[in-house]
Each structure stands twice: as C-alpha cells, then as structure tokens.
A = this chain, B = another copy of it.
Amino acid sequence: MQSKNVNAHLTEIRDYFKMAVSVDCVIFGFDNDELKVLLIKSDLKEYKDMWSLLGDIVRPGEELDAAADRVLKSRTGLDQVFMEQVQTFGGVHRHPAGRVITVAYYSLVNIQHAALKKHGNELHWHPVKAVHEMAFDHKEILDCCYERLKHKVIEQPVGFNLLPRKFSLRELQNLYEAILDVKLDRRNFRKKFLSMDLLVDLNEEEDDVPHRPARLYKFNFEKYDQRKKRYLGIGF
C-alpha cells in the first residue's frame, strides 16, 4: 500500500477504515467414509434457516490466524489442528450488514474429538457432497476450500488429521477416495503409502469387524516434520 493514499484527506481516510474483516472456517471432518463439514444455522433474518460456515468478525488487535483459531476452538473445543488460509472474499454486497471482507480458512479435525458447543445454535456435520444452498456466499467459499483440500492431499499427507490416531490402510484409502471422489487400486495405494515410510505399524489389529481385521498404523509426524518438504515433481 502506498502511503500517499493513507495521507489523503481525513474524511476519506475515515471512509476507508469503515470496513469489517471476518474469518470463516471450513471445518472438515471424516466419518462413516464421508467427508463432512461443520455448519451452523444462520440466525440472520436475511438467511433464516440456511446453513452457514462458522465465522466471526476479526477483533481489533487480533491476528487473522488467531481469529480463525478462536472460532474453531469456541465451537469445537479444538485447537492446534491443521488449518490453512485459503482465500479472501470481498464481494461488495456479500454481507447485509455492510462491507465485510472475509478471510476463508479450512481446517482438518478428528470428528470424534470435536466436542460441539451448541450455544443454542444448531450445529451439524454435513456430508460435503450433500451441501447445496448456503447463506451468504458460503457455498462458494466451501467449494473453494474443498478444491484446495483436494489439491493439498495429493501433494502432502495431511489426510491423517482427519483420522483417529490408529487407522487401517483401508480407512486411509476410503478417506482419499472420499476426498478426491475417485476409485483407487487397493494394492497400489498400499505400496505408495508404505513406500513413503511415514506409517508406523502398531502391531495391532482392528476389532469388532465382521471380517478379517486389518493392521493398524499411526502417522509418523516426527519423521514427516523432519523431512524436508519433498521436491514437487516438476516434470521438466
């Protein structure tokens, strides 16, 4: 930003400082072999009974990431989960109350660990594929974050954040198939993941399954963090 504009007439400056900034969180979970998103019923009369993302105004003196963390924690009790800023939506008329620019985040949570705090509002996990109409421009934001997630999981193993600590390769594959909406070959998927050497074999087995139980693994976060961000396959 150029200072010239900041130093313009004071009245102008006041106009410029009349915007509000909010954060909106697309909170993804995984349950029942489906990718889900946490939504809340809008209490704005303009969007009565429509579902909306979890968000809030950014407070004066509050960092953007902190605001997103606060929203997540206040609704799910969770913190220190995977979260990433995605894009900022600034449509002039996107909010009935005035010019509200919103910074969109998505986060990946273990749906079992989330302790939903309803505060009287209706809070619900929705299958992502079943969400259509939403309040504000939230459907657009959801779509944008979902695309980012798809892109992310094929580059880096972030899917683990959606799973329980212990999981089988089948569960992991179901997760990828659900997110990417593709069918994957079981054996190649297994080879691919085991060759990354990021899974720790727990020498445990599934329980309570009506068939041969699978081995359980956990993700090796330490090794992943140590390892340099892998060189992306440039191709040329």
Which of A's residues lie within 8 Å of B, judged by CB?
Answer: 1-6, 15-24, 40, 42-44, 52, 54-64, 85, 87-88, 90-92, 95, 97-103, 121, 136, 151, 154, 176, 180, 182, 184, 188-189, 192-193, 232-236
- Are B60 and A15 neighbours in the complex by a CB distance under 8 Å? yes
Whole-angstrom distance between the alpha carbons of A19 and B14 in the complex? 10
In the assembled complex, the CB of A226 is this many whole angstroms from the nearest CB of chain B, namely 21
Q: Which residues of B contact A59 (CB under 8 A)?
A: 15-16
Counting every copy of the chain, the complex holds 2
Q: Can you pick out 30 interface pairs between chain A and chain B where the beta carbons lie within 8 Å of each other? A: A1-B23, A1-B24, A1-B52, A2-B40, A2-B54, A2-B55, A3-B43, A3-B97, A6-B95, A6-B97, A15-B59, A16-B58, A16-B60, A17-B17, A17-B18, A17-B19, A17-B20, A21-B21, A58-B90, A61-B92, A61-B99, A62-B92, A63-B90, A64-B88, A85-B88, A101-B101, A154-B233, A154-B235, A188-B236, A192-B236
